[in-house]
Each structure stands twice: as structure tokens, then as C-alpha cells.
């Protein structure tokens, strides 16, 4: 199961990190989902220690990969700002928790000031994030009653329907234009060929005379 999960993670990781620019971008409200990339190497590190019995080179490698991805997402803090609270924010909790657990296992295996400080910092960050999300969810759900309308990625509104209708009309018009062009293309090609042949014949006739 550990090997199957690792193989699936590699496929998903490469697919999502090397998306074509022409593909539709992920909605801004779902940007917290990108933090889930940190969870798999952290969980792989913890699982390998549980299977093998010690925090060896394999477990450390996955822990350092998770730590690198964690830092790479933290430095891009602007990527996770600019949108309202939604249920998608709960995707922060699992990666941060698994990263803190992996750091605790690493601190137990290699006790030093850096490893203990890292484990303490990640654990406090994870606990603070869970507490803030819990309070925010309760406030948005029962006090302000604005929990689900803020999820623009899943909300269904009249504006979306109208915009979807306009897009649908545009797409049908484009397909109709393409079909019409495909039907007319052979005739235009034949007419251009006949015109070129007639011009060649006329030029040959003038040369002979």
C-alpha cells in the first residue's frame, strides 16, 4: 500500500505541477488545496518509520521533501490571499498536521536544537490553524450564516447561469462556424486550383501566339 500510494502521488504531482498554460486554472477560492502536496511525503515518512521500525534515510528523504514543499508554499503567501473564508480552508489542516508529526519523529531520531525547534514551531502552527479554522467555521455557520455562499467555486447563482448560457451560445456559434468552414473549404480549394490552372493556360496561350 505504501508503494501504491507513492506511485499515485508521483503521477498526480507531475500532472498538477506541469499543467499546460492553455488549461483552465484552478479557481482562486480553491488555492488552499495546493497545500495537500505537503501531506503525502510527510505521511510517507511517518508510515515508513512505522513499517521499517526506524527513521532511516528513506524516511528522512521524504521528510525533507515535505519540508521543501512546505517552505516553497510559505514563501508564496500572496498565492493564498485575496479571497474570503470557505470550507476549502480546512485543507490546510491535514498537511500541516502530518508535517508536524513527521518533524516530531525526526526530532526523536535526531535530537538537536534545530529539530526540536522545528517540531515545536510546526506543532504550534498546526494547532493554531486548526483552532482558528474551527472558530471561523462556527462563526460563519451559526452567527453570520455565510459559510456556503462564500464558496464561489461550488455556489449556484443566477449570474453563473446567465454567464454559462452566454458561453454556451458562443461555443455553439463557434462550432457552427467551424462546421460551415469545413464544408466550404473543399469548394474553395477546388476553385482556387481551377483558377490557377486557367491562369496557366492563358499564359501559355499568350506565349505561343
Higher pLDDT pick, 94 / 186: 94
pLDDT in tens, 17-42: 776 566 777 778 888 988 998 999 99
pLDDT in tens, 139-187: 988 998 888 764 555 554 445 444 444 454 555 554 544 445 445 544 4
Q: Which three cell numbers stand for residue 143?
A: 452567527
* Spatial distance between the Cα atoms of 129 and 137, rounded to a whole number of angstroms: 12
- Does pLDDT of 10 surpass 50? yes
Specify the range with the lowest mean pLDDT, choosing from 8-22, 123-137, 180-194.
Answer: 180-194
Q: Which three cell numbers stand for residue 22?
A: 492553455
Q: Give the distance between the most distant pair of CA atoms in the chain.
A: 102
Determine the straight-line distance between the first and last CA of the chain, rounded to whole angstroms. 87
User: For residue 38, how many other CB atoms are within 10 A of its CB?
Assistant: 25
Average pLDDT, the chain: 78
SS3 27: coil
Output the pLDDT for position 65: 95
Closest CA to 84 of 131, 150, 140: 150
Residues in the chain: 209
Output the pLDDT for position 129: 95
pLDDT in tens, 47-61: 999 999 889 999 999
* Spatial distance between the Cα atoms of 62 and 41, rounded to a whole number of angstroms: 5
* Spatial distance between the Cα atoms of 130 and 122, rounded to a whole number of angstroms: 12
The DSSP-derived string for 70-97 is HHHHHTTGGGG-SS---GGGGGGHHHHH
pTM here?
0.68
- Does pLDDT of 99 surpass 70? yes
Do 69 and 37 form a contact (C-beta atoms < 8 A)?
Answer: yes
Output the pLDDT for position 162: 47
Do 143 and 137 form a contact (C-beta atoms < 8 A)?
Answer: no
Q: Which three cell numbers stand for residue 54?
A: 526506524
pLDDT band, residue 2 (cuts 50/70/90): very high
Amino acid at each position: 500500500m505504501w508503494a501504491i500510494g507513492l506511485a499515485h502521488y508521483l503521477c498526480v504531482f507531475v500532472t498538477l505541477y506541469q499543467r499546460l498554460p492553455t488549461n483552465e486554472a484552478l479557481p482562486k477560492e480553491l488555492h488552499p488545496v495546493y497545500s495537500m502536496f505537503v501531506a503525502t511525503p510527510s505521511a510517507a515518512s511517518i508510515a515508513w518509520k512505522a513499517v521499517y521500525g526506524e527513521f532511516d534515510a528513506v524516511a528522512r528523504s521524504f521528510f525533507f521533501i515535505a519540508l521543501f514543499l512546505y517552505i516553497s508554499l510559505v514563501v508564496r503567501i500572496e498565492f493564498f490571499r485575496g479571497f474570503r473564508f470557505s470550507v476549502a480552508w480546512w485543507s490546510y489542516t491535514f498537511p500541516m498536521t502530518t508535517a508536524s508529526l513527521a518533524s516530531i519523529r525526526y526530532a526523536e531520531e535526531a535530537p538537536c536544537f534545530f529539530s526540536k525547534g522545528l517540531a515545536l514551531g510546526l506543532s504550534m502552527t498546526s494547532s493554531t490553524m486548526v483552532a482558528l479554522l474551527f472558530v471561523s467555521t462556527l462563526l460563519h455557520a451559526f452567527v453570520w450564516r455565510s459559510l456556503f455562499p462564500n464558496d464561489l467555486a461550488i455556489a449556484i447563482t443566477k449570474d453563473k447561469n446567465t454567464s454559462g448560457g452566454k458561453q454556451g451560445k458562443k461555443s455553439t456559434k463557434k462550432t457552427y462556424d467551424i462546421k460551415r468552414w469545413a464544408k466550404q473549404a473543399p469548394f474553395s480549394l477546388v476553385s482556387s486550383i481551377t483558377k490557377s490552372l486557367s491562369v496557366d493556360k492563358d499564359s501559355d496561350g499568350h506565349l505561343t501566339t
